[in-house]
Amino acid sequence: MTKFIDLTLSGISDGAIYAAVALALVLIWRATRIVNFAQGAMLMITTFIAYAVIGAGASYVVGFLAALLSGLALGAVTERVLIRRVEHAPPLNAVIVTLGLYTVLVAVAGMIWGNTPKSFPAAFSLRGYTVGGTTLLFTPNDTFIVLVVIAVALGLAAMFRFTSLGLQMRAAAFAPEVARLLGVRVGRMFTVGWALAAVAGAIAGVLVAPSVFLGPNSFDPILIGGFVAAVLGGLDSPPGAVIGGLLLGLALSYVSGYEGSALVPLAALAILVLVLMIRPSGLFSAAQERRV
Amino acid sequence: MSAPAIPRAVRERTLLRSLSLVIVGGLLIALITGALSSYRNLQLAYGGYYFAALAGLTVLAGLSGQISLGHGALMAVGAYTSGLLIGNEGWALVPALVAAAGVSAIIGIPLGLAASRLRGPYLAGATLAFAVGLPALADKFPSTFGGENGLTINPSMPPSWLGSNFALERWEAWIACACALIVLFVLYNLVHSGVGRSLRAVRDDEIAASLCGLHVGRNQTVAFVVSAACAGLGGGVFTVVNQLAAPGSFQVQLSLYLLAGVVIGGLGSLVGAIWGAALLVFLPNWTTDLANSFSLSTNVSHNLPLAIYGVVLIAAMLLWPSGIQGGFRSLGSWLWHRRGRRSRSPGAPADRPSAAS
């Protein structure tokens, strides 16, 4: 029973990470109808930048901020330089370009920092809470992760709902032509969408790095998890992405706890295929199902 | 409703053309390998198994407009199948390779069923999960799959009727090229069959195709399963040539290499798959030489091929989406039009992956 509670709690904190990555993917999907397969590599690079900043003697907070700023820049530059040129090409081209970016970023990280995973400092203690004599696997750092991701999700929701920028982004995503006629700078909104997504990813990267270690490929499973979570949520619904992330985090935590962590990506694949077979538009999507 | 019937004459012509292609190719390879050094023969063998996987991948992309990132993992399935059967069970070469293709095809069925319902990014994501997840199984079941060290097998010696001086590398090149030719034969006929036609119809306009009564899902599943079998055969040959199947060879990077090979050759082009295979064989050597001559650090030189593949993927998609073979095709058509003194301008490289040639 203790194990079950432990797994549930760690599933919630894993799920928060998946939710953050899923949010990043959903932001980009909504803006440009592209799945950003480079997301995992982008958050890997920003986390390495935080690692370098912290390694140079700066505090954790400065490192965190460095990751956020570099994410902002990386996302915006990627959209302006690469993605804008394939937005109107067949969808396959955009998929291949993001995979190419993924490949380049992994290679660059390997060149600079080597392929051996490095340990990354945590914001808070990694010693579990003690409840009635038993030590839980849930740590103060996990609390931090969950709270930060909730803040990110609420912040994004508030931005989309209550600010002029959010309204313009929604308009640009759902009716680009009309939005353009009404004076919304649609291209700039896409850039903002990518930049915000990269920031959400950067946050996830810094949060998860202490538990997965930091290497060029260590975030591949996180990307898979984020992708599956986003698809669970319908790929264009931010609340769906958060719920999808939490559900997936729980499911994968049980798989990992009872069957071993080697099976986690394959279990994610199984969940993905099952969901797409049963409800191709995701569990929470309001969008109309694609008919063939 | 089944795929549209193709006139018998056309069908026979396709069959004859591909058969003669295979026979000529086989004879050429048999002759050329005698003149090559053992190192070049080994490289030819590498090219053979890469070609098998690339051809499967490119036909899938060209015919159904789908990108699979799982072909590296499907190669791993074939590699471990032939490794287990030859190493542990003592199977002969040919049945083991057939089994490698067969097991990969079986693994490909659920993926293919999913593929028939998934479009572009969804399929890429699902197969990416497969590519990331599968190599971990070797660690999960170390007693069967040999853990990190993988499975080693004894080299399969050339049969005695070839003479005692027949080099092992030449024999391996023969095995690999024979498999590559079989793959070429099967895929060429698939592309020009009714299934190929209906897949192209589905790719270009799915709704129109289903209104015409084409069974969209079934055709796409068939394409994926055939493609998976090709990758599995390539993987089986991988084990035979390298005498090793280890998880390190089949990380997610392999799938990205394969994708880069397909894209640079030209998505959907079988001839382009030859260019892609050449790239995959020679690029690591070139980058090692480059790293040595500039005395780069090991971190840089290890990751240089990966960086080049990534740049190739991006640059090809932004600048030249039809790849090398597409370039040759438009060059050819330009020359043709010039000779005919026609005023029509040559067609620009197609934006979308064209049909296999």
ipTM of the modeled complex: 0.84
Q: Could you tell me the sign of the dihedral formed by the alpha carbons of B335, B340, B341, B345, in that order?
A: negative
Pick from A82, A107, A224: which is nearest to B314 by CB?
A82
Inter-chain touch A231–B120, beta carbons under 8 Å: no
Interface contact B136-A290, CB threshold 8 A: no
Q: Which residue of B has its CA nearest to A218?
A: B132
Cβ–Cβ below 8 Å for B69 and A101: no
CA closest to A267 among chain B residues: B133
Q: What is the pLDDT of residue A288?
A: 47
| pLDDT tier at A253, thresholds 50, 70, 90 | very high
Q: What is the pLDDT of residue B267?
A: 83
> What would the two tokens of residue B202 be?
């589905």
For position B4, what pLDDT does the model report? 57
Local structure of B352: helix, strand or coil: coil
CB-based contact B133 A276, cutoff 8 Å: no
Using DSSP's 3-state secondary structure scheme, residue B346 falls into coil
What percentage of chain A has pLDDT greater than the value 70?
Answer: 96
Q: Does the pLDDT value for residue A290 go beyond 60?
A: no
CA angle A216, A217, A221 (to 5 degrees): 145
What's the confidence (pLDDT) of residue B352?
A: 45
pLDDT of residue A280: 67
pLDDT score recorded for residue A248? 93
> Per-residue pLDDT tens for A51-77?
999 999 889 999 999 999 999 999 999
Question: For residue B1, what are the contacts with CB-CB under 8 A and spacing of at least 6?
Answer: B213, B214, B215
Instruction: Report the alpha-carbon distance of residue A276 to residue B139 in Å, rounded.
Output: 29
Asked if A262's CB is within 8 angstroms of B137's CB, the reply is: yes
For the entire predicted model, the pTM comes to 0.85
Average pLDDT (A189-194) is 91
* A220 shares contact with chain B (CB less than 8 Å): yes
Residue range A144-157: mean pLDDT, rounded: 92
Nearest CA in chain A to B215: A292
Whole-angstrom distance, CA of residue B134 vs CA of residue A266: 7
Q: Is A278 on the interface with B (CB under 8 A)?
A: no
Cβ contact (<8 Å) for A100 and B313? yes
Q: Which two tokens stand for residue B140?
A: 């999960």
Q: How far apart are CA B34 and CA B167, in angstroms?
A: 9
User: Which residues in chain B are contacts of A82 at CB distance < 8 A?
Assistant: 314, 318
Please judge whether A268 and B267 are an interchain contact, meaning their C-beta atoms are less than 8 angstroms apart.
Answer: no
Write out chain A residues lying below 8 Å of B121, CB-based.
34-35, 91, 95
The residue ranges of every structural domain in chain A are: 2-120+179-278
Looking at residue B343, what is its pLDDT? 46
Three-point CA angle A98, A186, A90, nearest 5°: 40
| B121 to A91: CB separation less than 8 angstroms, yes or no | yes
A87 close contact with B: CB closer than 8 A: no
Q: Which residues of chain B have pLDDT under 50?
A: 1, 342-357
Q: Which has more confidence, A64 or A289?
A: A64
- Best interface-test mutation with B: which of A95, A231, A232, A263 has the largest number of B CBs within 10 A? A95
- Residue range A224-229: average pLDDT? 91
Task: Give the pLDDT of residue B54.
Answer: 94
HSE of A121, CA atoms in CB hemisphere, 13 A: 16
Whether A224 and B251 lie within 8 Å, measured CB to CB: no
Q: Please report the pLDDT score of residue A129 as a whole number.
A: 82
| H helices present in B243-322, as ranges | 252-265, 270-293, 298-319
**Tokens, residue A36:** 């950003």
How confident is the model at residue B229, as a pLDDT? 95
Q: Could you tell me which chain A residue has the CA closest to the CA of B132?
A: A265
Q: From residue A221, how far is each of A16, A283, B137 by CA, in Å?
A: 14, 22, 14
pLDDT at A178 over 70: yes
DSSP symbols for chain A: -HHHHHHHHHHHHHHHHHHHHHHHHHHHHHHHS---TTHHHHHHHHHHHHHHHHHTT--HHHHHHHHHHHHHHHHHHHHHHTGGGTTTS-HHHHHHHHHHHHHHHHHHHHHHH-SS-B----SS--SPPEETTEEPS--HHHHHHHHHHHHHHHHHHHHHHHSHHHHHHHHHHH-HHHHHHTT--HHHHHHHHHHHHHHHHHHHHHHHHHHH-B-TTTTHHHHHHHHHHHHHTTSS-HHHHHHHHHHHHHHHHHHHHHH-GGGHHHHHHHHHHHHHHH-TT-SS--SPPP--
> Number of Cβ pairs closer than 8 Å across A and B?
168
Element (H, E) at B245: strand B244-245
* A93: contact with B, CB 8 A cutoff: yes
Q: What is the pLDDT of residue A109?
A: 93
Tally of residues, chain A: 292
A212 touches chain B (CB under 8 A): no
Confidence check: pLDDT of A292 > 70: no
Taking the Cβ of residue A224 and every Cβ of chain B, the question of whether any pair is shorter than 8 Å is answered with yes
**What is the residue whose two structure tokens read 């849930």?**
A138
Q: Tell which A residues from 246 to 275 touch B, by Cβ distance under 8 Å.
A: 260, 262-266, 268-269, 272-273
User: A2-120+179-278 belongs to which homologous superfamily?
Assistant: ABC transporter involved in vitamin B12 uptake, BtuC (1.10.3470.10)
Q: pLDDT tens for residues A72-113?
A: 999 999 999 998 888 877 778 888 899 999 999 999 999 999
Which whole number is the average pLDDT over A143-153?
Answer: 92
The predicted pLDDT at position B351 comes to 44
